Structure formats: structure tokens, C-alpha cells
């Protein structure tokens, strides 16, 4: 039985009067990759942001590696353990690819520049960008920038990866190279929660799919159950709408 990395118990989030998460329960085991799908506005990004405290949940519990996250937790440390990659790459524009990747290890993990650079070169190689170590973000394609962002995140040696629609801002022909990197990470046993609109990819790479609608988890299950035998009317409608869009 593998270890529980993350446990959510009745997680709630409200922005003023707007209740966005209405009691989310979820358990994530070590090595699992979980895809979160659901309509726009269903609370997927808010859920990820509540996990690493970019938002403060208004109710329920987030338990990471056995510790309940609360106001006294060290959020900076938490964010190094839970790495997050966004739709917009947020690279430092004035730093090279290598510079972007070594920044946090040097300043947060306190490793020497030599060690940080050696690790960063390996990570850039892992995401297929060995040749681009000295390039600045403006000299990189969207797919390359996103792969640098992933390498930068991995440089903090996260134990859980949060990926929020990381291919949504990319031209269609660049999506594949980023998904290849995510697929490799999943195979290597990285624990991850990924919000995605790429249903085919979710089906292929995820151990379990979480379908959210209206701030709750409506269904959770292995891909074949969710995509082939959806139980709820809401999920059937969502899948039908998504398939119509892509065909």
C-alpha cells in the first residue's frame, strides 16, 4: 500500500459571497497521477491554488504528508514541496533558461552555484533543452518556455506537482512536446495533480480522473470508468460537449 501524499477533507473556498469549492474530498497516493477535468468555472484552478496556499481555503482541511496545513505552516517551504506550473510560464525574462532553473535552488535550497548548475543542466536535458541553456525566454518558443518552467519547478525537488492547464496557451503543434515531458514524469513515478482540457492525454497518462462541477467532485475513477462508463448525467453532458468541440 503506497503512502498518502495529500488528503483533502471537505475543502471549501469562497470569494466573498461566491462559494467556489463546496466540500472537496480527495486522497492522493505517492506516485499517482491524477487529472482534474470539468467545465470552466467549476473550481479546478482554485482547488490547486488552495493546496499550496496561493489562496486561503475558507473551510475543510488540506493534509500534506501527514501534516495539516494551517496559518502557522511555512508556506514558502510548502511551495517548494508542492511545485506548481501555470498556463502562463512566468519565466524571469532577464535570465537565461539556466538562470531561471538555478535561481530557486541557490536562494531557497541554498545549494552552491556549481551544484545548482550541474543539476539544472541535467533537468534541461530531461526536458529536451540541453542546447538552450543560454537562451533567454524571448528566444524560445512557447513549448520551450513551458519546458523550462517545468525544469525550474523540478529543480526544487518537489514531492507533488500541480500543473494547471500548462498546454492551454500553446499553439497546437507545440502541445505534444510539453505533454511528452509530463508523460515521462508520470512514468518515473512523480506524484501529480494536473488540470487539463486534453481528454485524450488525461485518459492516457492519469491513474485516476477527477471530474469537478460546481465546486464539488462529482465523480472519481480510473479513466476507463470516467470516459467509457460515466455514472452521472453531468459527466455525460460534459464529455459530450467536449467531444463535439474537438471533432
Ligand X SMILES: Nc1ncnc2c1ncn2[C@@H]1O[C@H](COP(=O)(O)OP(=O)(O)OP(=O)(O)O)[C@@H](O)[C@H]1O
Give the residues lining the site for ligand X (CB under 6 A): 15, 18, 20, 38, 40-46
Tell me the window of 37-45, 69-77, 145-153, 230-238 that interacts with Mg ion (CB under 5 A): 37-45
46 counts as binding Mg ion under rule CB under 5 A: no
- Binding partner of 222, given Mg ion, ligand X, none, CB within 5-8 angstroms per partner class: none
Q: b or e along 205-231 (b: 16 or more beta carbons within 10 Å of the residue's beta carbon)?
A: bbebbbbbbebebbbbbebeebbeebe
Q: In the complex with ligand X, which residue's Cβ is closer, 58 or 141?
A: 58
Q: Are 146 and 178 in contact (CB under 8 A)?
A: yes
**List of residues 6+ apart from 157 with CB closer than 8 A:** 80, 109
Q: Which of 7, 45, 100, 191: binder of Mg ion (CB under 5 A)? A: 45
Cβ proximity to Mg ion: between 45 and 196 the closer is: 45
**Which of the ranges 38-46, 76-84, 124-132, 147-155 carries the binding residues for Mg ion, by CB under 5 A?**
38-46
What is the distance between the alpha carbons of residues 42 and 56, in angstroms, rounded to a whole number? 18
Q: Is 89 exposed, middle or buried (0-12, 13-18, 19+ CB in 10 A)?
A: buried
230 makes contact, choosing from Mg ion, ligand X, none, with CB < 5 to 8 Å by partner type, with none
**DSSP strand pairing (59-64 vs 216-221):** unpaired
Which of the choices Mg ion, ligand X, none does residue 146 contact, using the CB cut-off of 5 to 8 A by kind? none
Identify which of residues 44 and 132 has a Cβ nearer to ligand X in the complex: 44
Q: Quick one: what does residue 176 bind among Mg ion, ligand X, none, with the CB cut-off 5 to 8 Å set by partner type? A: none
Shortest Å, Cβ 103 to Mg ion: 26
Q: What is the CA radius of gyration of the chain?
A: 18
Give me the residue label for grid cell 469537478. Answer: 212
Q: How many residues bind Mg ion (CB under 5 A)?
A: 1
Q: Which does 42 bind (CB under 5 to 8 A by kind): Mg ion, ligand X, none?
A: ligand X
The answer to whether 6 and 180 have CB atoms below 8 angstroms apart is no
- Our CB check for Mg ion shows the closer of 39 and 223 to be 39
d(C-alpha 51, C-alpha 159), whole Å: 13
Q: Which residues bind Mg ion (CB under 5 A)?
A: 45
Amino acid at each position: 500500500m503506497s503512502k498518502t501524499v495529500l488528503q483533502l477533507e471537505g475543502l471549501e473556498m469562497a470569494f466573498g459571497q461566491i462559494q467556489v469549492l463546496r466540500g472537496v474530498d480527495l486522497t492522493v497516493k505517492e506516485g499517482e497521477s491524477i487529472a482534474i477535468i470539468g467545465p470552466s468555472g467549476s473550481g479546478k484552478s482554485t482547488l490547486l491554488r488552495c493546496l499550496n496556499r496561493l489562496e486561503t481555503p475558507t473551510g475543510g482541511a488540506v493534509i500534506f504528508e501527514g501534516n495539516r496545513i494551517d496559518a502557522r505552516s511555512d508556506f514558502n517551504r510548502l511551495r517548494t514541496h508542492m511545485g506548481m506550473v501555470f498556463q502562463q510560464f512566468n519565466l524571469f525574462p532577464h535570465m537565461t533558461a539556466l538562470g531561471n532553473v538555478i535561481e530557486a535552488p541557490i536562494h531557497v535550497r541554498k545549494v552552491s552555484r556549481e551544484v545548482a548548475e550541474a543539476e539544472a543542466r541535467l533537468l534541461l536535458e530531461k526536458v529536451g533543452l540541453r542546447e538552450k541553456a543560454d537562451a533567454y525566454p524571448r528566444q524560445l518558443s512557447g513549448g520551450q518556455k513551458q519546458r523550462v518552467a517545468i525544469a525550474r519547478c523540478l529543480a526544487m525537488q518537489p514531492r507533488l506537482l500541480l500543473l494547471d492547464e500548462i498546454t492551454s496557451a500553446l499553439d497546437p503543434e507545440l502541445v505534444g512536446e510539453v505533454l511528452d515531458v509530463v508523460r515521462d514524469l508520470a512514468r518515473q513515478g512523480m506524484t501529480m495533480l494536473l488540470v487539463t482540457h486534453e481528454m485524450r492525454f488525461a485518459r492516457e497518462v492519469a491513474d485516476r480522473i477527477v471530474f469537478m462541477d460546481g465546486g464539488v467532485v462529482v465523480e472519481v475513477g480510473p479513466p476507463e470508468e470516467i470516459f467509457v462508463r460515466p455514472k452521472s448525467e453531468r459527466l455525460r453532458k460534459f464529455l459530450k460537449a467536449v467531444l463535439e468541440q474537438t471533432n
